[in-house]
Amino acid sequence: MKRQVMCQLEEIPDGTMKAVELESRAIVLIRKGKEVFALRDTCPHQGARLSNGVLTSRRLSSVAGDYRAEKAKQIVRCPWHNWEFDAASGRCLHDPQRLRVAVYRTEIENGQVVIVTS
Partner 1 sequence: MGENSLEKSSLQAEASRVGSGIELVDCDVHGGINSIQDLMPYLPDVWQLYVRESGFKGIPPSWYPKVKPNAARSDSYPPSGRLPGTDLAFLQAHHLDFWKIDCAIVNPLFAADYLPNIDFGAALCSAYNDYMIENWYEKDERLYGSILVPFREPELAVQEIERVGGHPKVVQIILLVCAGALYGQRRFLPIWKAAEKKGLVVGIHWGGVEPTRAAGGIPTYYLEHHTNLAQAGMAQMVSFLCEGVFESCPDLRVAIIECGMAWLPALMWRLDKDWRGCRMEVPWMKRRPSESIREHFRFTTQPIEEPDNPAHLVQVIEHMGADHLLLFATDYPHWDFDSPARALPRQIPEPLRQRIFCQNALEFYALS
| Window contacting partner 1 (CB under 8 A); options: 4-12, 15-23, 35-43, 81-89 | 81-89
Which residues, listed in sequence order, are joined to residue 104 by a DSSP beta bridge? 38
Q: Is 66 in the site for partner 1 (CB under 8 A)?
A: yes
Please say which residue, 1 or 72, places its beta carbon nearer to partner 1. 72
Query: What's the first-to-final CA gap in the chain, in angstroms?
Result: 4
Q: Is 47 in the site for partner 1 (CB under 8 A)?
A: no
Q: Is 104 in the site for partner 1 (CB under 8 A)?
A: no
Query: 93, exposed or middle or buried, with CB in 10 Å at 0-12, 13-18, 19+?
Result: middle
Which residues, listed in sequence order, are joined to residue 25 by a DSSP beta bridge? 22
Q: Which residue from 116, 117, 114, 111 is spatially nearest to 11, judged by alpha carbons?
A: 111
Please say which residue, 59 or 73, places its beta carbon nearer to partner 1. 59
| Window contacting partner 1 (CB under 8 A); options: 7-15, 21-29, 64-72, 108-116 | 64-72
Please say which residue, 81 or 105, places its beta carbon nearer to partner 1. 81
Nearest distance in Å: CB 90, partner 1: 16
- Residue 9's identity, in one-letter code, is L
Residues contributing to the site for partner 1 (CB under 8 A): 59-68, 77, 81-84, 93-95
